[in-house]
A = this chain, B = another copy of it.
Amino acid sequence: MTESEVMVATGQDAAEPGLTAPASGQRRIRRENVERILKAAELVFAEAGCAGATMTEIADRAGLPKANLHYYFRTKEDLYRAVLDNVLRMWLAPVRSIQPEADPATALAEYVVAKMRLSRTRPNASKVFANEVLHGGGQIQDFLARDLRQLLDQKAEVLDGWIAKGLMAPVDSRHFFFMIWAVTQHYADFDLQIRMVLGRKKLSRQEYERITAEVVRMVLRAAGLNAAADLMDLAGRTG
């Protein structure tokens, strides 16, 4: 599964691609139903895992009969791949802020904020990703070994550049990224644990923003950017 193959399932790979498919976008009904199915599937796959999810459950959540799912997606695995492809595409996006000419503290803070926002707004996507890596099927290995590796190499080089210029502490740039991924995704993947342990039913948006600021401070300090972290401290506590 290379990056170029990561795409929204248009459904054209199921049920005999319309050879006479009109250029004017897909049929309305197909587009709407595919979207509904993918949304329901992401939820169910996140809740139950790939093996634990059933087509019947997904169909019920989408408000469609099961046979209809098999009309748009030939097999359960096809549907799972489509969901996963969406998730992977989303995963790669927030890293853009890491650029050589950027200010390290600003860029890292922006990156963490973007990752935390993704954890809040799309926890199910993160869970599907986590589940897939956890039970390392062949599904995701190409993505990890090709696309993600290439991306990490690029961005690690940016950090190494900053370090060489003395702009941040001499961390191992790759493992520094692992730390950011681990911490930010933790708030989506382990949200049950976090809520139970904090005794909260749900984390409000305000609470989430406070947590995000805290995570940013810790990450900045881990990078040796204490001045920036302390500035945040001031802003966060007085604002």
Contact = CB atoms under 8 A, between A and B. Distances in A.
Integer count of this chain's copies in the complex: 2
A23 to B, nearest CB: 38
Interface residues of A, number: 56
Nearest to A172: B214
Contacts of A187: 178
A215 B175 CA distance: 8
A177 to B, nearest CB: 9
A144 B136 CA distance: 26
A222 B225 CA distance: 10
A47 B196 contact: no
A221 interface: yes
A84 to B, nearest CB: 14
A135 B43 CA distance: 11
Interface in A148-173: 148-149, 152, 169-172
Interface string A44-70: 000111111000000000000000000
Interface string A221-233: 1111010000001
Nearest to A143: B196
A183 B183 CA distance: 6
A74 B226 CA distance: 56
Interface of A: 47-52, 127, 130-131, 133-136, 140-141, 144-145, 148-149, 152, 169-172, 174-176, 178-179, 181-183, 185-187, 189-190, 192-194, 196-199, 211, 214-215, 217-219, 221-224, 226, 233
